[in-house]
Chain A
């Protein structure tokens, strides 16, 4: 049995960030990844400025192979059913369009952590002074003995399920899928990530250019039909925006958990097991999860270091330190923050102010209709509660975290 200080499950960006902090502090760290590296990852690849800052400051300039074409994204364009469109540049300039297969692998290598790929996490037992981690490599069982475990294995986290078997039933799940189309004609500016606030299309509808093709993606409550939803979006883009695409050549999709950041229902683990990144529920408002994954991943690593140095429970350290990241992420969904502050990394209030009064009215009406789409999840009271906590408590209540 291999004995290490920390096992990180998943070879994602949050894992790389956590590993960087742990390795820097001299902790023996092993990353378990079920696929062979470099591995494919479903993602738009559009990184926020804050995430880009983290990558450069901790891992250095990105290699070209870690980028898709176009290599940079200038900002976000919001489209509304009333046919008002708002383009917003990211604060400070363009950000990279990551090729997750290679960017994640590059960051993992830069962290200097030891990686055991093709090794699937199969379960854990927290024994108090250590955690026994069960895994499988090529069908053969493996065991690791670690002082701490960090689950950085994405929204459908097996580590989360191992410690909270009922958690997946407690939150609504969405499916997000994207299809790749050869372009006949696409008037959408390829420098921007395009997002539609349209309740008739889906809960999360987007399109952007990648490597000469156009991605059309849609997110919806799990159980609906991807092909039908996607066809609806393609028809809409064709009719309303003049986007002419050939039949798709590839498609992919995965489960997503939009709710936790919105209603402050994060899951951070228990005992010696920490959950981080999107597994913990971090997701920014435009569905960008990489920047909060990087930062929360780093904080999970810092928490282990601090717990060791201060001889305090790691959960205590993690929950105290993660407060800043919860604030940053949940602020992006907080209606009061959106209305009176600038929680995002592109200037929505300024873009709104640039519209005519009539257009502003249409945008607000369309936004309201879009929000109503989420009514079935009964999040209204929770959103209002979280929004009020922010000015009154200076943050969000820890009571709702798992």
Chain B
């Protein structure tokens, strides 16, 4: 019997419990030891950077939206300027103190949780700097929530292009990880809307970058999961504001609904599209339009070809099925209860006037937080090429059925841009996707309390599907670290690791996310 110096995962692959073929590593980090903290804190204050160390200040950031990773920073800094962040990072490099950057804290795998060190709260930098209505661009600090940005833009009759359906995500967070909207099948992800950035590198340099200026840094910053810089300002493309007109189609088959969704995307038949489900029993394909002309064209050309039904048609078809299967009556009652809760939410008079939805983000965000989420957002996901998407959704759906009595799926496409391929490397965009990538979030209804182990086992099983079929993931931290090498291969991960080591010699910036 060999006697290794330590019993590492490579010596000993561990049995499944959902994690198949994953080399084990520590994914729930040990709190940073705190060596040199006092000297670091002194140096930071001497440089004029405010550092909060009280339990109340730090405790507010003990976990993220996922609620399965907890950690306490030694201290926190509220972002005020690029210069302040530059000072922080320079001193942190010198003392080897980890810095974790947090926007809205809507990560679900602990990416924005500090396991000791400094937590940098970017929501302190939340000002819109300039709006250029002629060029249709906005320059903003990146700690701003999307809904605050929308408020500012609406005053000018403008709107952002694409933002996550979540009111409290920040612009900076979305640029780092993607950001997906129901118009992403036409416009790409939120990160695709950035034209130029101001970033602070891990060694404290303040750099302006774009596709033409410091292009390499721009490529690494976008969809970079915070590994190569802190994004402090962004110039984003915007558009004229238009309310949207929604149409809903109901399916009893996930496969059929996904096929119809992909067909609409391929044909550019709608301005917005996505799937929201109540388990796999009521599958809602939603489409929406920015103009009457687009809607009329859809009604004329594509509507009749969709295999979904209206509310009544769906109910009439579901009724005999449930009548003949009495053991499924609890499920039918659940569907009715959800319908009663949810449908009025999508038609609230303050947001819907004359059949037009005034702010899709508000409507969907409210519904998501009120009826899907809880204080925990457990939403493992799979991002695949169009060809693999049906398999990913159906297999993930089976895992949801196994773990939870009630759940929902959210599926949406992302239009890919050939000129953004460098951004997409080592990101949620799967390497084999052409034209569109598709993402599905698997979200259990948290109508009871679950242990973290139960939730993590569920997530692992979803992530395992991704490995099996060759997918990517929207989320990268925590347990995901073990998957990244399997999903992308050692060559790509090592190349990015080398870039990271060059950019961040002390490996202080967001150290527990990817590497």
Contact = CB atoms under 8 A, between A and B. Distances in A.
Interface string B451-478: 1111000000000000000000000000
Interface string A68-95: 0111100000000000000000111111
Given A62-B7, A91-B15, A96-B7, A320 B1 contact: no
Nearest to B21: A92
Contact of A59 (B30, B115, B375): B30
Contact of A320 (B449, B452, B479): B449
Contact of B452 (A90, A298, A317, A323): A298
A255 B72 CA distance: 39
Contact of B14 (A26, A53, A58, A112): A53
A66 B58 CA distance: 34
Interface residues of B, number: 44
A26 B12 contact: no
A252 interface: no
A64 B452 contact: no
Nearest to B460: A53
A93 B15 contact: yes
A306 B455 CA distance: 15
B15 A90 contact: yes
A68 B449 CA distance: 39
A69 B14 contact: no
Interface string B52-76: 0001001100110000011110000
B62 A25 contact: yes
B8 interface: yes
DSSP class of A's interface residues: helix, strand, loop or mixed? helix
B8 A61 contact: yes
A380 interface: no
B4 interface: yes
Nearest to A22: B70
Interface in B1-21: 1-9, 11-17, 19-20
Given A21-B70, A52-B12, A321-B449, A112 B31 contact: yes
A64 B28 contact: no
A57 interface: yes
A320 B448 CA distance: 8
A310 B63 CA distance: 14
Contact of A61 (B9, B69, B115): B9
B343 interface: no
A37 B115 CA distance: 26
A110 interface: yes
A52 B30 CA distance: 16
Given A25-B62, A25-B72, A52-B14, A110 B30 contact: yes
A321 B3 contact: no
B154 interface: no
A58 B26 contact: yes
Contact of B451 (A53, A71, A322): A322
Given A26-B58, A92-B16, A93-B14, A56 B24 contact: yes
B450 interface: yes
Contacts of A60: 25-26, 30
B255 interface: no
B31 A72 contact: no
B252 interface: no
B27 interface: yes
B13 A53 contact: no
A24 B26 contact: no
Contacts of B70: 21, 24-25, 305
Contacts of B9: 56, 61
A310 B376 CA distance: 12
A24 B31 contact: yes
Interface string A36-59: 000000000000111011001111
A60 to B, nearest CB: 4
Interface centre among B9, B19, B20, B70 (most CB of A within 10 A): B70
Contact of A71 (B4, B14, B452): B4
A195 B256 CA distance: 52
Given A61-B8, A64-B5, A72-B1, A49 B14 contact: yes
A109 B136 CA distance: 56
Interface string B9-49: 10111111101100011111011000000000000000000
Contact of B27 (A57, A62, A91, A93): A57
A398 to B, nearest CB: 12
A67 interface: yes
Interface string A105-123: 0000010100000000000
B450 A26 contact: no
A382 interface: no
Interface string A320-333: 11111100000000
Contact of A95 (B8, B14, B71, B72): B14
A190 B26 contact: no
Contacts of A24: 28, 31, 62, 69-72, 115
Contacts of B1: 69-72, 190
A145 interface: no
Nearest to B403: A324
A299 B451 CA distance: 6
13 contacts: A25-B62, A26-B55, A26-B58, A49-B14, A53-B15, A53-B24, A57-B24, A62-B6, A71-B4, A72-B11, A92-B16, A302-B452, A323-B451
Please give me the 9 A-B residue pairs with the lowest Cβ-Cβ distance, nearest first: A49-B15, A92-B15, A91-B15, A324-B454, A70-B1, A320-B449, A26-B72, A62-B7, A93-B13
Given A24-B72, A26-B55, A53-B19, 7 more contacts: A24-B31, A26-B62, A52-B12, A59-B26, A63-B7, A112-B31, A299-B453
